[in-house]
Structure 1
Amino acid sequence: MVYKKRKWLLPIATAAIAMTLSGCSNGNGSSNSSQEAETKDKQFPIAVSNRAKPIEGGTLSYGMVASTPFTGIFNSALSTTSADSTVAQFGAEGLFKTDDDYKIVDGGAANLKLNVDAKTATITINPNVKWSDGQPLTAKDVVYSYKIIANPATKSTRYTEALQNIEGMEDYNTGKSDQISGITSPNGDDGNEVVLKFKEMKPGMTQSGNGYFWEQASPEHQLKDVPFDKLVSSDEIRKTPLYYGPYKLSNLVPGQSVEWVPNEYYYGEKPKLAKITLSVVSPSNATQAALSNKYDMIDVQNNAWNEVKNAPNTEFIGKIPLTYYYLGFKVGKWDADKGENVMNSNSKMNDKNLRQAMGYAMNIDQVYEKYASGLSFRVPSLIPEQFGQFFDKSVKGYDYNLDKANQLLDEAGYKKNGDYRTDKNGQPLVINFAAMSGSAIQEPIIQNYIQQWKKIGLNVQLTTGRLIEPNSFYDKIQADSSDIDMFTAGWSLSSEPSPNDLYSRKAPFNYSRFASDEQDKLLADIDSKESFNQNHRQQAFFKWQEWMNDNAYVIPTYNSYGIKAINKRVVGYDLTPSSSWASVGVSSN
């Protein structure tokens, strides 16, 4: 049950927790696959082994390991964190079903038909789909999500250059029109059909998570009277969200816990559980919770693997998620008026040699062998290996090389003056580094890197003088706070590998704020008409990875195995993309 639809901010910056395993597929199919997921040097099954019949009236408890309360933004057009997606996973089903390769197939809440010649996508809603209040899912609900995203008053970070490929999106965003001309409902607002008209067709459109159309709906009948600028803070979003997935929200303690009960209007397989309870578990309590079987499911902190691997009445499932963490360098700001990232040529970090040197100084392999039982590992590229042919094996990334780091700084004119180097003008150089709080290993890992940078003469100091609570961290990152020169963060990726939504000139998620004419061309080629040819697209991905590796505005650091401890009474839970929470049950009380 892997969230594959959207790119999410990861709420931690350590190997402690793999939040991406907490999401649920949007499909309504199930899988009883018992295949093994082979990892670099470990093996974990990707499905529970219990094949017993689920009991009636069973309940399931879910422990979400997090160092901070969830924000509780329960609408995918406004939410950005994987924590919120984890909380919402039991009801938040997407429009389209996928197979286990993330290809969109028929049979979900809606079907999709692409017409390359006409440059359209037709969405046909299953007439049996209803919201959890009994109202039918209709065309206006699909259209309303686009309006939420594109209306500037919502400040949605989902409004990307990719979605601007839909005709009329920019006119709606800028107030030139009160409707999106390229989104029409042939059978009326209450009909079951929506047609999207694109400026160009893109090669990734057959895959879920491609970013060129939105794959969720919003309950227009519930939200239409809430002003767009009040939407994100409204009770309708925060306290009484509606879903058309297998479960509906029944009780909420903001930031701490939620209860879910079956959605009696669910169009698919009847849910097997009478109640699901999710609770936030602090990293300091997670190991004991796993050992004592306090929850039916809980994320395993990789640094605690050796302690929990023999927990009684427990089995472990896992895989390497579509995730990576990275070191980002602030070289500009987001210009809201232009709707794009604007670089500052005088930025402290706008020197390629400096950025590269900081990458070479990081002893990532040593860190995660020590602190994460080898369950985290350095990654060389911003296109993860799981993307197969699009992953460039020749990109080596930034392995540990202090000599190379010092050489780069010397060549660039950063001269030693005592323990630390000066800037090119001979002035003291202090680099402000923002990092999130997390598990018990977060502090020593971050302090280790600060010491590594000191070895090459760089004076790196923590922004605010300490690790920052995750929600506050992303507030500062998104606002381009002046006390941040660089930061470490992470992405949970969608299942279509195009990096446009994260790193393009017009991507709000491009938190380093770099922009380049050369990168514009490289990204455009990845999603070009020519890239309908897979060989051409592969080469386009390779060129972009090489460019990013060389320019080092963002340096990939590591990924981690995502492991869950599962009580042996749990039935029907697996990590295949086509799986559904409707299939999950328990075989005993």
Structure 2
Amino acid sequence: MNKIKILGSIGLISTATLTLAACGKGNGTNSEGAKTASKFPVETPIKDTKQGGTLKVAEEMDTPFTGIFNEELQMSQPDADVMSPGQESLFDTDDHYKINDKGAATLRLNRKAKTVTITVKKGVKWSDGKQVTAKDIEYAYEIIANKGTKSERYSSQFNIIEGLKEYHEGKAKTISGIEMPDGENGRTVIIHCKELKPGMAYVGNGYIWENAAPYHYLKDIPFTKLESSDEIRKKPLLFGPFQVQKVVRGQSVTWVPNKYYWRGKPKLDKIIYQVVSPNSASQAIKSHKFDIARVVNNQWKQVKDTKEVNFIAEIPLAYYYLGFKVGKWDTKNSKNVMNPKAKMGDKNLRQAMAYAMNTDQVYKHYTDGLSFQIPTLIPAQYGDYFDKNNKGYTYNLKKANEILDKAGYKKKGKWRTMPNGKPLTINFAAKSGDAIQEPIVQNYIQQWNKIGLNVKLVGGRLTEFNSFYDKVQHDAPGIDVYMAGWTLSDEPSQAQLYSEGTMQNYSRFVTPENNKLIAEMDSQKAFDHKYRVEKFHEWQKYMVDQAYVVPTYNQYQIDAVNNKLTGYSLKPSKINYDHPMWFNVGFVK
């Protein structure tokens, strides 16, 4: 669960040559970039590493990062990026994301006893030298579940833990199902569950939290003030390989080695994360201003011949999507509630808008194939859980018009009206990004205009990244449709994103069928892999049909890495929270 992050602006394409007229043309078959990227390695060449050196990393976004250095409260990918040198999960995995014993803690599952036992290794210490304890594991659950923090990490999935629901509702002062057999200062926690789930042996399963929080450091801060505290924003305590030396709010973070790090001394003396505009990314790569910088996909041709860099690439577990607002989050009862009168409540309207989008043409053509349309909410990287036979929504204006005509959205002049004859205006929210985000968004509005839908940007312009997610997360009035993106958990359970009891279900759709399918894909029967695959395929078919959330695209993620660096890897066994293990990274001798 703690892998899910909201994506920043780096996913946007960037070129000054995009025009709306070109977007409508179907010549999006050029994919030399994709062919090239598919051959790139996922890690730098392995060489002897020297001690020392300062590593400079570009964080490409058009707005400041918020700087929440706490996994229990953090939601955005930019915050996760700049925090990554100090952040570490409790668990390491193999290359199939299965938890092993090589990390900071071990995991034991007992399906018969319905228990999860987590044991922190001796010598795993916070950057102030204190051992990570059982209480630190319990405290992380308290941060998530206490209503005072308003943590978006809370989900009804966690109610599988005995007593957690009662704690969340304020009916209990402690979580009864979390046992510390050696006391708070011990290193073992036994979590008593109502049942164990099929994905629990894998990271990102959404039922087991994979982090600890320093209770001794944060305990005196009220939950209501935790997120804004200096201990979270300026001087975080972490148990990863590096600790914060300096934060320039929203702009940069400087990291130096954590002298108490349990794996030993990192190779690097310093890591500096610095915000840089996506529009400047290609120049930053060509001038070698940074040791690591992500390639903005439509700038690929500008940087592909850069000397003295290794290009490292993968297709990440992620996607961008179009979401339709059909309800609100009920804070009191911690669940999503649909509005039966929601403007976007008619699936015919949602389907028509999906068919009118020329997504594949826009992204494939202008990114040389590096960004590409995806059909369902289960990416292909999930293997057989992905239904390769489901084609999703392909561009079809004729079909979009037919659906609207049949559903009674009649044209009155230029625009269609509601089936009841009332005027229809659709308010569309899209976040800011690089200089070209505006033309892409206007392209989609133009496409919807072609089928007679009067779609307008909320506020008449793109919304700044942090403000955009604040509005989407808190169900700000006046948003009917929005465009956003996720990086995903390694375990494919959909409960953490689209269940009735998760705040992250930003569309706020809740249906009996969706509840049933999500419950079945994580049920006891789902320990049978074939059964679980069938349920995932059923869910994809249902979600495509209902179109509450329509996936748009994914992309190759290419990093330009200084060729004097080694140890930079994106292999599952060599990453932590979707970032390279910075402990392994260093300069070549």
- TM-score w.r.t. the length of structure 1 is 0.94
Taking the aligned partners of 1:162 and 1:380, their CA distance within structure 2 comes to 27
- Aligned partner of 1:347 in structure 2 is 342
- Aligned partner of 1:15 in structure 2 is 12
Taking the aligned partners of 1:222 and 1:578, their CA distance within structure 2 comes to 30
Superposed CA deviations along residues 353-380 of structure 1, whole A, max 9, x for unmatched, are: 0000000000011101232221100000
Taking the aligned partners of 1:291 and 1:306, their CA distance within structure 2 comes to 12
Q: How does 1:201-240 map to 2 (within 5 A)?
A: 201-240=196-235
- Aligned partner of 1:581 in structure 2 is 582
Pair 1:563-2:564 in alignment: no
Describe the SS at the equivalent of 1:464: helix
Partner residue of 1:200 out of 195, 198, 202: 195
Pair 1:385-2:380 in alignment: yes
- Aligned partner of 2:298 in structure 1 is 303
Whether contact under 8 Å (1:39, 1:319) holds in the other structure is: no
CA RMSD after TM alignment: 1.4
Describe the SS at the equivalent of 1:94: coil
Describe the SS at the equivalent of 1:342: strand
Whether contact under 8 Å (2:13, 2:366) holds in the other structure is: no
Taking the aligned partners of 2:42 and 2:586, their CA distance within structure 1 comes to 13
Superposed CA deviations along residues 178-226 of structure 1, whole A, max 9, x for unmatched, are: 0000001000000010001111110000110001010000000000000
- Aligned partner of 2:85 in structure 1 is 90
Superposed CA deviations along residues 405-451 of structure 1, whole A, max 9, x for unmatched, are: 00100011000122211111212211000000112221111110000
> Residues 406 and 317 (structure 1 numbering): CA distance in 2 closer, same or farther, change over 3 Å?
same
Superposed CA deviations along residues 546-585 of structure 1, whole A, max 9, x for unmatched, are: 1111000000110011111111111111111121211100
In structure 1, give the amino acid aligned to 2:5. Answer: W
Taking the aligned partners of 1:49 and 1:517, their CA distance within structure 2 comes to 48
In structure 2, give the amino acid aligned to 1:117. Answer: K
Taking the aligned partners of 1:415 and 1:434, their CA distance within structure 2 comes to 25
Pair 1:246-2:241 in alignment: yes
- Aligned partner of 1:530 in structure 2 is 525
Taking the aligned partners of 1:406 and 1:47, their CA distance within structure 2 comes to 44
In structure 1, give the amino acid aligned to 2:165. Answer: E
Partner residue of 1:176 out of 161, 171, 176: 171
Partner residue of 1:413 out of 408, 421, 424: 408
Deviation at 1:156, TM superposition (A): 0.3
Whether contact under 8 Å (1:327, 1:488) holds in the other structure is: yes
Superposed CA deviations along residues 74-111 of structure 1, whole A, max 9, x for unmatched, are: 10000000111101111100001111111000021100
Deviation at 1:269, TM superposition (A): 4.2
Taking the aligned partners of 2:582 and 2:11, their CA distance within structure 1 comes to 28
- Aligned partner of 1:332 in structure 2 is 327
In structure 2, stretches of 5+ residues that fail to align are 15-32, 575-580
Taking the aligned partners of 1:84 and 1:49, their CA distance within structure 2 comes to 25
Pair 1:135-2:136 in alignment: no
In structure 2, give the amino acid aligned to 1:559. Answer: N
- TM-score w.r.t. the length of structure 2 is 0.94
- Aligned partner of 1:358 in structure 2 is 353
> Residues 14 and 460 (structure 1 numbering): CA distance in 2 closer, same or farther, change over 3 Å?
farther
Partner residue of 1:267 out of 251, 262, 266: 262
Taking the aligned partners of 1:560 and 1:227, their CA distance within structure 2 comes to 41
> Residues 177 and 499 (structure 1 numbering): CA distance in 2 closer, same or farther, change over 3 Å?
same
Whether contact under 8 Å (1:503, 1:510) holds in the other structure is: yes
Taking the aligned partners of 1:495 and 1:356, their CA distance within structure 2 comes to 29
Deviation at 1:308, TM superposition (A): 0.7
How many correspondences in the alignment?
565
Whether contact under 8 Å (1:78, 1:232) holds in the other structure is: yes
Q: How does 1:499-578 map to 2 (within 5 A)?
A: 499-578=494-573
Taking the aligned partners of 1:378 and 1:582, their CA distance within structure 2 comes to 35
Superposed CA deviations along residues 322-355 of structure 1, whole A, max 9, x for unmatched, are: 0001000000111111111111111110000000
In structure 1, stretches of 5+ residues that fail to align are 18-37
Q: Percent identity?
A: 54
Pair 1:371-2:366 in alignment: yes
Describe the SS at the equivalent of 1:205: coil
- Aligned partner of 2:94 in structure 1 is 99
Taking the aligned partners of 1:338 and 1:290, their CA distance within structure 2 comes to 49
- Aligned partner of 1:33 in structure 2 is none
